[in-house]
Structure 1
Amino acid sequence: MALKNLASAMNNTQTLEVAAIILGSEPTPIAIAYRAEQLEMLPQAISDIREVLAKPECTWQDFWDVVQ
């Protein structure tokens, strides 16, 4: 997230390229911001998936509902 903030603040081509490589996105401010937002949501998504998979009666549909 620090890279996203740095890239946004500096709007420097090299900073954007470094942030994009690390975040796995295109070297544009919009792409970096979008990828950073996705990564911020990742811990909650993993928690939700683990919760549904921990249930013994978990079905494929239960899993699919959570991952969507």
Structure 2
Amino acid sequence: MHYYEVQSQLVVLNNEDAYVASEKALNEFDLLVIDSKEHGFITVSISRKLTNFEAISMPFEISTYLMKMDIEGYLK
């Protein structure tokens, strides 16, 4: 499992909304759709990859994203 910190251009993400888990490795060109607790469905981008230790040290369970779009592949 891979874990990432994400950010939104529109809203400030807090707590578990700021992190996603993925079975496959993601990169900075992937846009993800998440169901945030405060803002509903929003698009986020990856800001950094977490180590497994960082991920298991979080005081909450990191959830998975709902949908992914590969911007790099889309532009080709």
| TM-score, with structure 2 as normaliser | 0.23
**Larger helix share, 1 or 2:** 1
**Larger strand share, 1 or 2:** 2
Structure number, greater radius of gyration? 1
